[in-house]
């Protein structure tokens, strides 16, 4: 839990493992994010503020002038100015109502002009960040001999920088996967009541005993998926209501219960759904069902897979989370979730931000005739389990 102790973590190895699974190079395996995801927590810490720089050079802009690889999960990136450095969030706790004394029948009560009651609030904090870099090296003689003129050299540089940009874009895409997977796994441990088991609920309502296999049969699949569509709309309506149901309440962190009232309007809601299931619905149930337009006023995106294309609906993560005391904790073992259909969450429940990025080059090496371009990135990946989030499971 290093980042939650205000430490800096190198993230290249973790991002390489996530990318390897996301691109199908390795099979899905447990991903340990306990040291990397900044979790909203009530523990106060102090530390120093690092000096940051933001230097833009001509070549760094060239990356974006070529055709880009646009990864998914782009909606999870938020403003680095808002989420950079140490972030605190003030959460307000409702105070209980009291009886009206206007019509009190007591005749000998001592009346007081004033009563004193302190308002109750709880502060959650986000700490730490992670860093990685990418660089490329140029040989002077190779560049002199490989190209006939400036045009060919420019074409080469354009292709090279486009490749580097595509890799960075995919890295940020995998960052979104990491944040989503940690959120789902954390909810299953810290807030299992917000994990909706769709097939179990459907069987209870209809009196059937369908399994993950038998529900795929033509006679069962269409009515089940129409029920799922209605269930998601109902959850959307419930999230709009101010309450304590869909998030973690650190009840021992404050003297008055610690129940945080949250509500998530549809325009603040993000919905990520497994595209494999959605494509199956489009082909087998009803054209237009689960289209993005059906989730009016909600940011909806189809996700081809959560962790690995070899197991699109599976998550195997060792997450961090906050417990009832508002402190960051982690499970003893990795959490395995099979049949993850979707994740619905408030825009402040999860995301990631680039807190510092810059690019630089060094002079030509006089003996070797080489030079480097280097890109540096510091990021914060965060979950806030005190905000509303729901995990939809196809089990």
- Sequential pLDDT tens for the chain (395 residues): 566 665 656 677 777 777 777 767 787 778 777 766 777 665 655 443 333 232 233 333 323 334 566 667 777 777 766 665 556 777 767 666 666 666 666 655 565 666 666 667 676 666 666 776 776 776 666 655 555 666 666 677 777 777 777 888 888 888 888 889 999 999 999 999 999 999 999 999 999 999 988 988 989 988 898 899 889 999 999 999 998 899 988 876 555 556 788 999 988 999 999 888 777 777 776 655 555 555 555 678 888 999 898 999 999 999 888 888 888 888 899 999 999 999 999 998 988 887 777 788 888 888 887 888 787 877 778 888 989 999 999 88
CA triple 114-118-123, angle to 5 deg: 165
CA atoms within 13 A on the CB side of 219: 3
In this prediction, residue 258 carries a pLDDT of 63
Q: How far is CA 335 from the centre of its chain?
A: 17
In this prediction, residue 326 carries a pLDDT of 81
Class of domain 30-94+126-393: alpha beta
Measure the CA–CA gap between 42 and 188, rounded to whole angstroms: 21
In this prediction, residue 111 carries a pLDDT of 57
In this prediction, residue 64 carries a pLDDT of 31
In this prediction, residue 118 carries a pLDDT of 65
User: What is the domain partition of the chain in residue ranges?
Assistant: 30-94+126-393
Q: What per-residue string of b and e applies to 116-151 under the rule 16 or more CB within 10 Å gives b?
A: eeeebebbbbbbbbbebebeeeeeeeeeeeeeeeee
In this prediction, residue 188 carries a pLDDT of 94
Q: Give me the torsion for CA of 197, 199, 205, 206, rounded to 10°.
A: 180
Q: Is 156 left (phi over 0), alpha (psi -120 to 50) or beta?
A: alpha
Instruction: Tell me whether strands 87-93 and 389-393 are parallel, antiparallel or unpaired.
Output: unpaired
């Amino acid at each position: 839990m290093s980042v939650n102790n205000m430490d800096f973590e190198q993230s290249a190895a973790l991002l390489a493992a996530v990318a390897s699974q996301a691109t199908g190079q390795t099979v899905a395996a447990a991903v340990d994010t306990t040291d990397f995801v900044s979790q909203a927590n009530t523990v106060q810490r102090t530390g120093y503020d690092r000096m940051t720089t933001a230097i833009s050079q001509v070549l760094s802009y060239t990356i974006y002038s070529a055709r880009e690889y646009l990864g998914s999960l782009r909606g999870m990136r938020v403003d680095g100015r808002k989420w950079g450095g140490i972030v605190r969030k003030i959460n307000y706790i409702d105070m209980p109502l009291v009886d009206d004394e206007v019509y009190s029948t007591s005749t000998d009560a001592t009346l007081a002009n004033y009563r004193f009651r302190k308002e109750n609030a709880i502060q959650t904090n986000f700490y730490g960040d992670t860093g990685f870099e990418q660089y490329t090296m140029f040989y002077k003689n190779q560049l002199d001999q490989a190209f006939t003129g400036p045009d060919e050299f420019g074409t080469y540089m354009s292709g090279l920088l486009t490749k580097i940009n595509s890799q960075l874009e995919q890295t940020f895409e995998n960052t979104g996967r990491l944040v989503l997977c940690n959120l789902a796994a954390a909810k299953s441990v810290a807030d299992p009541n917000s994990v909706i088991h769709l097939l179990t609920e459907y069987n209870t309502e209809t009196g059937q005993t369908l399994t993950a296999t038998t529900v795929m049969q033509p006679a069962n699949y269409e009515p089940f998926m129409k029920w799922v569509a209605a269930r998601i709309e109902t959850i959307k309506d419930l999230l709009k209501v101010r309450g304590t149901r869909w998030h973690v309440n650190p009840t021992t962190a404050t003297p008055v219960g610690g129940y945080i009232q949250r509500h998530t309007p549809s325009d603040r809601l993000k919905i990520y759904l497994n595209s494999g299931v959605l494509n199956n619905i489009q082909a087998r149930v009803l054209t237009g069902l689960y289209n993005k337009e059906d989730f009016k006023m909600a940011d909806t995106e189809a996700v081809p897979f959560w962790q690995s294309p070899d197991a699109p609906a599976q998550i195997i993560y060792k997450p961090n989370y906050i417990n009832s005391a508002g402190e960051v904790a982690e499970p003893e073992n990795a959490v395995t979730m099979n049949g993850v259909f979707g994740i619905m969450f408030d825009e402040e429940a999860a995301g990631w931000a680039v807190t510092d990025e810059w690019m630089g080059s060094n002079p030509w090496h006089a003996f070797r005739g080489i030079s480097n371009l280097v890109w540096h990135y510091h990021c914060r990946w965060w979950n806030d389990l005190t905000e509303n989030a729901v995990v939809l499971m196809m089990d």
